[in-house]
Each structure stands twice: as structure tokens, then as C-alpha cells.
Structure 1
Amino acid sequence: MSYLKSIAIASAFFLAGLGHASAAQQEITVYKSPWCGCCTAWSEHMRENGFKVTEIKREDMDTIKRDLGVPEQLESCHTAMIDGYVVEGHVPADDVKKLLTERPKAKGLSVPGMPMGSPGMEQGNQKDRYTVIIYGDEGMGAFARH
């Protein structure tokens, strides 16, 4: 292999790593009830995946959801904001990273309810199937299935 080709390959790997790191260093603000353990567990999941998490404990979560435009049918326990997007509920960190990389025209992502086995809702081997919903002014649809 030529010297220049080796440098090009090494540079590509370096730059790919930088792209992943920059996405993972995003700051996310999580609004949660002061008493919700699964919300705290989701914040920890996000930290473990490289996000800088700020938790804001609120008792008026309905107000937060209304102010941020979360449709009632997409509500869960906690609501987060990251880089102009709303993240509602137990959305996996990899789906948030994909959202930030692809930058679709959307208001945000949601995992409605609290499906067992989703990040922050782990309990033994129980894993519900669930869909991460992308939503915005143009409607809603499936973003990922788990």
C-alpha cells in the first residue's frame, strides 16, 4: 500500500471518529419529575453514550410538554431538548445521535408511554417491542423500531 493511500485511510478513520465524538458531546436538557427513577435512569443512559446531561426537576411536566408542542398521544414521563429538537420519553441514545446526524425537518422524537426494556425501563429480561416516532408539522411516522 502506498504511503499516501495509508495517510488517506488513517485520515478518514480519524475524521469519522471526530464526527461521532462531536455528535456525542451534545448537551441535552432533561425535564423530569423530582421523583421519577426511570427518568434518572434514562439520563444516565444518555451520559453513558457521551451526552452532557442537565436535569431540570419540575412538577409541572404537562406545562413543559404543552410549551414544547408534544402531542398528547406521544407523551411519556420526561421531556428533553437537544439542538432544537424535542426528545420525549425513553428514546435510545443511538436514535438521538441519528436524529442529530440526519437533521430531518421535524419537531422531535418520541417513545410514547414507558415500554419495558427501553433505555431507563430495563427490568430483567422483559422487553416490549416499541417504535420511536418522529413528528412535526408534516405529521408523524416511524423513525426506528426496537
Structure 2
Amino acid sequence: MTATVVMALTGFSAGHKNRDGGDGGGCSSSSQDHDGSSTSTTGGGSSGSGSGSSGSTQKPAQDTPVIVVSCASAGDPYATVKVQNPNDRKVTFTAYVTFLTRQGVPLTERSTQITAPAHGEGTGQIAVGDDALAAQVFRCQALRQAEAMN
């Protein structure tokens, strides 16, 4: 059996919050169909009798935008992020956030895994690191879409 899976990931989605509570931008609410280019080829079977494949194939899970709910600060060294699962099954996503200074200089990039039920929402926290680093954070920015892990 030979299987080839090709996924074309395009697009960029970023949302962020700053320490003053303002939005620095938004997240795209549109979704992309990333499973349109998946193919699976099965060989074998009896000559002249037709061949079929048994079992079902599950489409790859779609990625989703990351929404920054709150940003890290000296008193709260975590960013809170959420994802909305567009899939028909429970999926674990990896969400990425960059922590930035007031001048827009990146301090660090961190990630976390968030599990969300089918067509439901999942929330997670991403630690910036130590308290000294947290004191320098002014804005948190989602880097890209949360990547579906399963």
C-alpha cells in the first residue's frame, strides 16, 4: 500500500492584545480547507474481480486561528489563548504566541497544546518564562494558526 499525503498550508492569522487591554489587531474568522489535496492510493486486489479498500479514512484535521484573550504581565506571567475547533471530532492544537516589548521587540516565542471538543472551544495558558521577562512584556501576538495535531 502506498499513501501520499500532501497538505498545502496557506494564509496567516494573527491576533494580539496589549497590556493596556486594547486590541492590536484581530483574528481571521474565515476557515480554510486544508484537506482538499490529500490523496491515498491503494494497490492490490484480484485481477478481474475488482478491488476495494476496507475501513474508512479520516480527513486531516483543519488548523484554526489563535485568539489572545489576555497578555502576560509582571503580576500574571501567562498569556491566555483560545481556539475554536472547526472539526467534526476532538482535536489537540499547538498554539504559538510571541511576547513583545512596548517597542515591538520580540522577547520570546512560546507554545502550548490545547484540546478542544468537536465544534467547541479550548483555552490554554502560555508562560512567558521568568518574572523578569514578564515585567518587560507589553503585547502578546499569535504567530500563526494553531496547528492541528490529530
Structure 1 and Structure 2 fold alike (TM over 0.5): no
Richer in helix (by share): 1
TM-score by length of 2: 0.24
TM-score by length of 1: 0.25
Greater RCO, CA 8 A, separation 6+: 2
Richer in strand (by share): 2
The structure having more radius of gyration, on CA atoms, is: 2
